[in-house]
Structure 1
Amino acid sequence: MDEIRGTAQGTAPVPLSVLDLVTVGAGTTATDALRTSVALSRLAEARGFHRYWVAEHHSMPGVASSSPAVILAHLAAHTDRIRLGSGGVMLPNHAPLVIAEQFGTLEAMAPGRIDLGLGRAPGTDGATAAALRRTDRPSSLDGLGGAPIHSGADDFPQQLAELTRFLDDDFPDGHPYARIHAVPGPVQATSPGGVQSPHRPPVWLLGSSGFSARLAGALGLPFAFAHHFSAQNTIPALDLYRDSFRPSEVLDAPYALIGVSALATDDEKEARRQVRAAALNMLRLRMGRPGLVPTPEEAEAYEFSPMEEEFIASWNSNVVHGTADEVRSGLNDLQKRTGADELMLTSNAHSGDVRLRSYELIADAYGLPAA
């Protein structure tokens, strides 16, 4: 359970973690963004952040995180202690066996450090989702009677059951998949007393509404809510998760993490410039014109319509931004309002240097260990 429940450090009320979208700014490349991710993961480890997750997105030029497992393998080679995971892998996009193989491999590379966060949304637009899922054909058999199922969000519980069976390598005798093994399988972990037992990455359910909240509670799994883009649903979803929770072998009490957009800069004015540029990028995405994250100068020169200004204001009202002290105060207030057990911070900005500086400032504000 320690792999799930972190320990708050410094003056942070709960553990602080990092969500990386591997954002690509205008005038930069995916290679630049991935180099920033390596630097950021090393910074997060050195400063005492609890875990570092990478999100799955597709067909978005400004988000270079289409392959979380590949990125996590790269980050595992550049870090030693911090937990690494997916925030998350979109389960309907993939065969459960493939995910079990990928994350079994990651667990073998970095034993005891890997989290498997799963979502049921496509992480992209409908056309790309269709290209990923090939929903015109049955994708697998269900976890019980072996009936064909199609890959899609509606089949998420069945896909989750199948994935869990592959991770645990425990399909019952007579099941069509009983002789199939996800290799590498569970890693043999050694306890302080010298006892060996199989260990595989803990599964988290991610969501932005009530479906995954209720399912995570019923299965006794940890739950991560996307407050950073669905703030109006945060408290209802967390209440539903806690009300639905049933103790399991994984958890004896609910554990809820929330993703939070947070950007700290050396002065408040600069923070407003940076988040306005990031909001313009989101506006373009919502308008069906995804692109690279614009510079603050481009956002300043952009002529926003009244409706677009309303969107920008609404979006940025859920971004905790300002000086380090202002961000710390905003995060503390949010944690009190939601009762979240962990805060996972995503700092979206055009420049990798701005993102790195933001996490440094937040770590300083909370008195996290020095690098």
Structure 2
Amino acid sequence: MPIPLSILDLAPIAPGATASESIQASVSLAQHAEKHGYKRVWYAEHHNMPTIASSAPAVLIAHVAANTSTIRLGAGGVMLPNHVPLLVAEQFGTLEAMYPDRIDLGLGRAAGSDPQTMRALRRPHTSADTFPEDVRELQAFLSESSPIPGVRAIPGNGSHVPLYILGSSMYGAHLAAALGLPYAFASHFSPQLLPQAVATYRDEFQPSAQLDRPYVIAGINVIGAEDAAAAEVIIQENRRTLARGVAAKGNPSITNADLDRLLERGAIAQLDNMFSYTAAGNASDIAAYLTRFQDLANADELITVHQAPTLEQRLLSVALTSEWAEHARASA
């Protein structure tokens, strides 16, 4: 039986496009996801990346929420080492006050940026070391209590915005289990430890006030198109886009031929590893792959990443993917 489908939107800035156009595309994507029955859309915090417009997830969430009605929206995630817990509690407490029962808060331990950007953010390189304590402090600020006498998050106090631990290693699996929080594994770009991490999380899970049983969200790339050949064209363009961002540092003057030579030489072999879990093709192809992946991941929910050069291609991918769940609902 298919499980809930969600979307991770990286708010990509296409070559020659503006951040404003990217943000409007994210609104259209969320509206399309809402129409097709997706459970949630999350936005990831990244900094100093010319091809991504989601550096301020809370602001983006507020804008998208104002232009949708029912779909859940959240951060997937806020990179907590970049922030103090009180401010995150106030931001997401404000979002919850504006859009009740629609806001999620995923938390990541990585900085989501390079060392130079970390310095610009005024964060020490050791800030990730206190991640478990910072999660607990944030959790307390969102509850009726407070971790610091006389200090409350307003808005935020008593909002109980649901928290999710994001990860791509065993660290996040252990922490999510110990805290009794849902666990979202980033298998859409770091697939190696998915089965092991999920098994560990489920084995070690301790019930909490938020969650009484384990809940796993697994990330997967989806390239929906008219057929497999059309999907392959999009995959190759995605590889070039990633190569441009990783190897060329977003240099707009680098050509596709230059990027293809880098890829052919294996200069950035890790990019192909990022596509290890990819459902590609038409609706039937996608449905078959998602069913297999659900079993492999032992997941309670799949969060899909629809990377494509144009918004129209992303919207088609979202619609084709939704047929997996829609068919199951019609058959129930």
Where do 1:64-143 residues align within 5 Å?
64-135=53-124
Q: Structure 1 residue aligned with 2:32, among 36, 43, 53?
A: 43
Post-superposition CA distance 1:232-274 (Å, at most 9, x none): 1111111111121011111111000011111100121111111
- How far is the alpha carbon of 1:69 from its aligned partner? 0.1
Letter in 1 for 2:131: F
Instruction: Please say if 1:212 is aligned against 2:172.
Output: yes
CA contact (8 A) 1:262 1:320 kept: yes
Post-superposition CA distance 1:58-111 (Å, at most 9, x none): 111111100000000001101111111100000000111110000000000100
SS of 1:231 mapped into structure 2? coil
Q: Structure 2 residue aligned with 1:352, among 297, 311, 314?
A: 311
CA contact (8 A) 2:177 2:204 kept: yes
Which has more radius of gyration? 1
CA contact (8 A) 1:276 1:299 kept: no
1:4 corresponds in structure 2 to none
Post-superposition CA distance 1:211-236 (Å, at most 9, x none): 11101101111010000111111111
Instruction: Please say if 1:333 is aligned against 2:292.
Output: yes
Aligned residues between the structures: 327
When normalised by structure 2's length, the TM-score is 0.92
1:317 and 1:91 map into 2 onto residues whose CA distance is: 27
CA contact (8 A) 1:86 1:115 kept: yes
SS of 2:81 mapped into structure 1? helix
CA contact (8 A) 2:188 2:274 kept: no
- How far is the alpha carbon of 1:129 from its aligned partner? 2.1
Instruction: Please say if 1:266 is aligned against 2:226.
Output: yes
CA contact (8 A) 1:280 1:312 kept: no
Q: Structure 2 residue aligned with 1:278, among 238, 258, 267?
A: 238
1:33 and 1:291 map into 2 onto residues whose CA distance is: 18
Instruction: Please say if 1:161 is aligned against 2:110.
Output: no
Q: Structure 1 residue aligned with 2:45, among 52, 56, 59?
A: 56
1:146 corresponds in structure 2 to none
1:7 corresponds in structure 2 to none
| 1:235 to 1:290, Cα distance in 2 relative to 1, 3 A | farther
1:302 corresponds in structure 2 to 260
Letter in 2 for 1:239: A
Structure 1: segments with no counterpart, 5+ residues? 1-11, 137-150, 187-197
Letter in 2 for 1:251: L
Post-superposition CA distance 1:315-344 (Å, at most 9, x none): 433322122211111111111111100000
2:294 and 2:104 map into 1 onto residues whose CA distance is: 22
CA contact (8 A) 1:263 1:271 kept: yes
- How far is the alpha carbon of 1:300 from its aligned partner? 10
Post-superposition CA distance 1:111-132 (Å, at most 9, x none): 0111110000011212212322
1:182 corresponds in structure 2 to 153
Where do 1:312-327 residues align within 5 Å?
313-327=272-286
Moved more, 162-171 or 13-22: 162-171
Where do 1:286-297 residues align within 5 Å?
286-287=246-247, 289-290=249-250
CA contact (8 A) 1:169 1:185 kept: no
- How far is the alpha carbon of 1:301 from its aligned partner? 8.2
CA contact (8 A) 1:73 1:106 kept: yes
Letter in 2 for 1:325: S
CA contact (8 A) 1:279 1:316 kept: no
Q: Structure 2 residue aligned with 1:29, among 6, 18, 31?
A: 18
SS of 1:232 mapped into structure 2? coil
- How far is the alpha carbon of 1:170 from its aligned partner? 1.2
- How far is the alpha carbon of 1:287 from its aligned partner? 2.6
CA contact (8 A) 2:5 2:302 kept: yes
Structure 2: segments with no counterpart, 5+ residues? none
- How far is the alpha carbon of 1:312 from its aligned partner? 5.4
1:131 and 1:240 map into 2 onto residues whose CA distance is: 36
Letter in 2 for 1:154: D
Instruction: Please say if 1:240 is aligned against 2:240.
Output: no
CA contact (8 A) 1:205 1:216 kept: yes
Post-superposition CA distance 1:166-220 (Å, at most 9, x none): 1114136xxxx3111111134xxxxxxxxxxx44210110001011110110111
SS of 2:156 mapped into structure 1? coil
After superposition, the CA RMSD in angstroms is 2.3
**Percent same amino acid among aligned pairs?**
43
Post-superposition CA distance 1:150-174 (Å, at most 9, x none): x6111101111211121114136xx
Instruction: Please say if 1:16 is aligned against 2:8.
Output: no
Letter in 1 for 2:11: V
| 1:22 to 1:157, Cα distance in 2 relative to 1, 3 A | same
2:15 and 2:140 map into 1 onto residues whose CA distance is: 43
When normalised by structure 1's length, the TM-score is 0.82
1:274 and 1:249 map into 2 onto residues whose CA distance is: 43
